[in-house]
Structure 1
Amino acid sequence: MKRLLGCALLLVATTVSAETKTAVFAGGCFWCIEADFEKLPGVIAVESGYTGGTLRNPTYQQVSVGGTGHAEAVRVSYDAEQVSYAKLLDYFWRHIDPTVKDQQFCDVGSQYRSAVFYQNKAEQASALASKQALQSRFANIYTEIVAASTFYPAETYHQDYYRKNPLRYQYYRYRCGRDERVKAVWGTR
């Protein structure tokens, strides 16, 4: 009984000591960027949604045609003791094409722009520094570094789309040329 109680206390202490933070990124189709981030150790959860615009409670139908100011984005919950914000930024950059404006792969329009939505001064400084570090590699970087605004979760059918609809997802990702373009921009990872 004492051993069981000790194990339970250890589990609670470990859980409480984990520092969970969130970060918000836009990298084109949220199905793809969600799937990419969920592979990164230290990431606890990734939620697809919309942010960066002014329309309250937007829907996919509204955002996907443009005009709302929102971008398809993801909110990444992560264990800051396992993965740093700087590592998330590096991972983000290497899963997008920062050299195009208002587009990612086959998806065109400001709703598919790439962006880092910082939540505080430290994140802003890290994001700007990471972008500046890439300036020597790329002539133009169009990824926005902007203050976070309200994040609206996408509809349920968009969450974990790559798991719920693996064949459709893989077909979309292939036809969109995402992996091929990322490899062309960044080389092998």
Structure 2
Amino acid sequence: MTKTIETAIFAGGCFWCMVEPFDSLPGIEKVRSGYTGGHTVNPTYEEVSSHTTGHTEAVKIWFDPEKLTYDELVTIYWEQTDPTDAMGQFQDRGDNYRPVIFVANQAQREIAEQSKASLQASARFEQPIVTTIEDAKPFYDAEEYHQDFYKKEPTREALEMEQRLAFKQKNWQKK
């Protein structure tokens, strides 16, 4: 029997910081950094950083839904981002760093929308939840030097993750 592999695409600031939280989970087959949501075909990092392509830095995750559900992935996603900041995440500012859940189908949309509504209703955050939920568009792999950055540059990655960790500890402790 062939196992089914599904994909999820999440944007939450710099894609370097979005790989590690998913990469080693049971059921994850692969995580790639890339660009999505824009109008330029096969954009480069420099083009995306120029804010002229409409693309957002994101991660694409291939997962086995028998071991890890899409709902579980969305929950992990929320804990990696500031869902109240529409124009970037932590030190990463601009439209190419906006928080987005890109959905591949109606089932993913329903899960993402329900999860967002539950998060808003929880009153965990004083500000409204502004993360958008959008239909998935073509995903373009980032240049190879961006892939698995946390493994290649652990010291630099640790600096990038400090603000996220502090935010997570402040906002995701049991309430």
TM-score under structure 2 normalisation? 0.93
CA distance in 2, matches of 1:92, 1:147: 17
Higher helix share: 1
- 2:111 alignment partner in structure 1: 126
The number of aligned residues is: 171
1:96 Cα offset (Å)? 0.8
Identity of matched residues, %: 43
Residue 97 of structure 1 contacts residue 185 of structure 1 at CA under 8 Å; is this kept in 2? no
Which residue number in structure 1 is paired with residue 159 of structure 2? 171
CA shift digits 1:75-120 (9 cap, x unpaired)? 0000111011111111111111101111101001010011110011
The aligned counterpart of 2:91 is: 106
Tell me the C-alpha RMSD between the 2 structures. 1.3
> Which residue is equivalent to 1:74?
59
Q: Give the TM-score normalised by structure 1.
A: 0.86
Runs of 4+ with >6 A deviation: none
- The structure with the larger Rg is 1
Report deviation, 1:35: 1.0
**CA offset at residue 182 of structure 1?**
2.0
Matching of residues 11-26 of structure 1 within 5 Å: 13=1, 16=2, 18-26=3-11
How far 1:62 sits from its partner (Å)? Answer: 1.2
Whose relative contact order is higher, 1 or 2, with alpha carbons under 8 Å and at least 6 apart? 2
**Structure 2: runs of 5 or more not aligned:** none
Q: CA deviation at 1:40?
A: 2.3
Match of 2:24 in 1: 39
Match of 1:50 in 2: 35
Offset from partner CA, 1:13-68 (integer Å, 9 cap, x none): 5xx2x211111100111011111111322111100000011111111111123232
CA distance, structure 1, for counterparts of residue 37 and residue 54 of structure 2: 6
